[in-house]
Amino acid sequence: MEYSIPEEVMGQAEINGLEMNEEHMSEIINSVSHSIQPPHDRHLPDPIDHLKEVMKEHGLRNKDMKIYIGSSGNVCSVLKRHKPLTLRMIRNLNRYLSIPAEILIQPYDCH
């Protein structure tokens, strides 16, 4: 991946008296590029197992999940892995239960 520093940032650096030569620019770009790339070796929990764990932590029962997932049938089907999480479900679980979307969007076995 190749990065470049926008002109307005370079202009601001010059206004603030910072000398920006090629070496400084390269260091900044390398630093920024490493900080924004997610670690590939990070193991994330299974979405459904994590959802069940969050439910247990919050003292939530299946019927309490209807507000986030939908009907009782949907809740049951999702928790038993018969139906996958939909985008709407993922958004609700992320927004209201603070479950990271990164965990919820992972592929998992549905049968």
Q: Which domains does the chain have, with CATH numbers?
A: 7-36 (no CATH), 47-104 (1.10.260)
Report the predicted TM-score, pTM, of the whole model to 2 decimal places: 0.63
Residue 80 scores a pLDDT above 80: yes
What tens digit of pLDDT does each residue of 15-59 get? 555 666 677 767 777 676 665 555 565 789 999 999 999 999 999
Phi then psi dihedrals of residue 20, to 5 deg? -115, 90
pLDDT of residue 47: 97
Range list of H helices, 1-86: 7-15, 22-36, 47-58, 66-69, 72-79
Q: In Å, how far from its chain's centre is CA 60?
A: 23
DSSP one-letter code for 82: S
